[in-house]
Amino acid sequence: MITSRKISAIDLFCGIGGLSYGLEKVGISVKAGIDIDESCRYTFETNCNTKFINKDIQKIKGSDLDSLYGNENIKILVGCAPCQPFSSYTYKKNKDKDERWQLLYEFARLVKESNPVVVSMENVPTLLNFKEAPVFYDFVDKLKKLGYFVWYDVIYSPDYGIPQKRKRLVLLASKLGEIEILPPTHTPENYLSVKDAIGHLEKINSGESSKKDFIHKASKLSEKNLKRIKQSKPGGSWKKDWDDNLKLACHTSEKGKTYVSVYGRMKWDEPSPTMTTFCTGIGNGRFGHPEQDRAISLREAAILQTFPEDYKFADNIDELKFGKASKHIGNAVPPKLGEIIGKSIINHLKEYNYGEK
Least confidently predicted of 131-140, 275-284, 320-329: 131-140
Query: Which of the residues 40, 48, 80, 83 is marked catalytic?
Result: 83
The pLDDT assigned to 317 comes to 93
Decide if 14 is catalytic. Answer: no
The pLDDT assigned to 236 comes to 78
Neighbours of 144 (CB within 10 A): 12
Q: Is residue 80 part of a domain?
A: yes
pLDDT at 173 over 50: yes
The pLDDT assigned to 89 comes to 41
Q: How many domains does the chain have?
A: 1
Least confidently predicted of 2-11, 78-87, 120-129, 166-175: 78-87
The pLDDT assigned to 297 comes to 98
Q: Is residue 156 part of a domain?
A: yes
**Alpha carbon distances (Å) from 174 to 152, 182, 186, 307:** 12, 15, 26, 28
Q: Is residue 25 part of a domain?
A: yes
Least confidently predicted of 134-143, 170-179, 293-302: 134-143
The pLDDT assigned to 246 comes to 79
The pLDDT assigned to 1 comes to 45
In contact, 271 and 164? CB cutoff 8 Å: yes
Q: Is residue 138 part of a domain?
A: yes
Rounded mean pLDDT, 111-130 = 92
pLDDT at 131 over 80: no
**CATH number for 156:** 3.40.50.150
First vs last Cα of the chain: how many Å apart? 10
Q: Give residue 172's domain range.
A: 6-186+334-351
Neighbours of 288 (CB within 10 A): 28
Amino acid at 113: E
Q: Which pLDDT band, with edges at 50, 70 and 90, does 100 fall under?
A: low
- pTM for the full model? 0.91
Structure-derived torsion over alpha carbons of residues 110, 114, 115, 120, reported in degrees to the nearest 10? -50
pLDDT at 91 over 60: no
Q: Is residue 151 part of a domain?
A: yes
pLDDT at 334 over 50: yes
Q: Is residue 271 part of a domain?
A: no
Q: Is residue 236 part of a domain?
A: no
pLDDT at 191 over 80: yes
Q: Is residue 77 part of a domain?
A: yes
Rounded mean pLDDT, 119-124 = 94
